[in-house]
Amino acid sequence: MINTLSERIACGDRLTLARAISSLESNDERAHDVRQAVLGRTGRAHVIGVTGPPGAGKSTLVSALIVGLRQRGRTVAVVAVDPSSPFTGGAVLGDRIRMGERQSDEGVFIRSLASRGHLGGLAAAAGDVIDVFDAAGFDVVIVETVGAGQSEVEITRYADTRVVACPPGLGDDVQAIKAGVLEIADIFVVTKADLPDARRTESDLNAMIGLRRHADWTPVVTKVSAPSGEGMDALVEWLEQRPQRGLRHAPGGAQQARALVTRCLGADGFGQAMGMQLLYAAPGEVKLRMRVQRMHINFNKRCHGGAIFSLGDMALGLACNTYGSIATLVDSQMSISTAVEEGEWLIAHATEVARSRKIGTYQVRVSRARDDAHVALLNGVVYVIDKPVEVAGDGPA
Ligand SMILES: Nc1nc2c(ncn2[C@@H]2O[C@H](COP(=O)(O)OP(=O)(O)OP(=O)(O)O)[C@@H](O)[C@H]2O)c(=O)[nH]1
Ligand SMILES: [Mg+2]
Residue 88 alpha carbon to ligand 2 centre in Å: 7
**Is ligand 1 within 6 A of the CB of residue 223?**
no
Give ranges for CATH 3.10.129.10 in the chain: 254-388
pTM value is 0.65
Average pLDDT on 341-352 reads 93
Q: What angle do CA 13, 151, 210 make, to 5 degrees?
A: 110
* Residue nearest ligand 1's atom 17 by CA: 57
**Is ligand 1 within 6 A of the CB of residue 332?**
no
What pLDDT digit, counting tens, does each position of 145-167 carry?
Answer: 876 555 556 666 678 888 989 89
What pLDDT digit, counting tens, does each position of 264-300 carry?
Answer: 998 899 999 999 988 778 888 898 989 999 999 999 9
What pLDDT digit, counting tens, does each position of 378-388 carry?
Answer: 999 999 987 88
Superfamily designation of domain 254-388: Hotdog Thioesterase (3.10.129.10)
Output the pLDDT for position 157: 64
CB 320 within 8 A of CB 351: no
pLDDT tier at 244, thresholds 50, 70, 90? low
pLDDT tier at 226, thresholds 50, 70, 90? very high
Lowest mean pLDDT among 177-191, 232-246, 263-277: 177-191
CB 79 within 8 A of CB 113: yes
Residue length of the chain: 397
Whether 307 has a pLDDT exceeding 90, the answer reads: yes
Beta strands across the sheet bearing 277-282: 277-282, 285-291, 345-355, 359-368, 373-388, 325-336
Residue 80 alpha carbon to ligand 2 centre in Å: 8
Give ranges for CATH 3.40.50.300 in the chain: 43-249
Output the pLDDT for position 251: 43
What pLDDT digit, counting tens, does each position of 68-93 carry?
Answer: 999 999 999 999 886 554 434 334 44
Superfamily designation of domain 43-249: P-loop containing nucleotide triphosphate hydrolases (3.40.50.300)
Instruction: Give the C-alpha separation, 93 to 98, whole Å.
Output: 8
Residue 57 alpha carbon to ligand 1 centre in Å: 3
Residue 233 alpha carbon to ligand 2 centre in Å: 21
- 53 to each of 58, 174, 343, 377, how far by Cα in Å? 9, 10, 18, 32
Query: 46-52 and 140-146: which strand pairing?
Result: parallel
What is the DSSP code string of 96-157?
Answer: HHHHTTTTT-TTEEEEEEE--S-HHHHHHHHHHHHHHHHHTT-SEEEEEEETTSHHHHHHHT
What pLDDT digit, counting tens, does each position of 88-143 carry?
Answer: 433 444 444 444 445 568 899 998 887 554 444 566 678 889 989 999 999 999 99
Output the pLDDT for position 252: 47
In a mutational test of the pocket of ligand 1, which residue from 60, 82, 87, 93 has the highest number of ligand atoms less than 8 Å from its CB?
A: 60
Output the pLDDT for position 259: 77
Summary mean pLDDT of the chain: 83
CB 279 within 8 A of CB 287: yes
Lowest mean pLDDT among 55-64, 104-113, 285-294, 339-348: 104-113
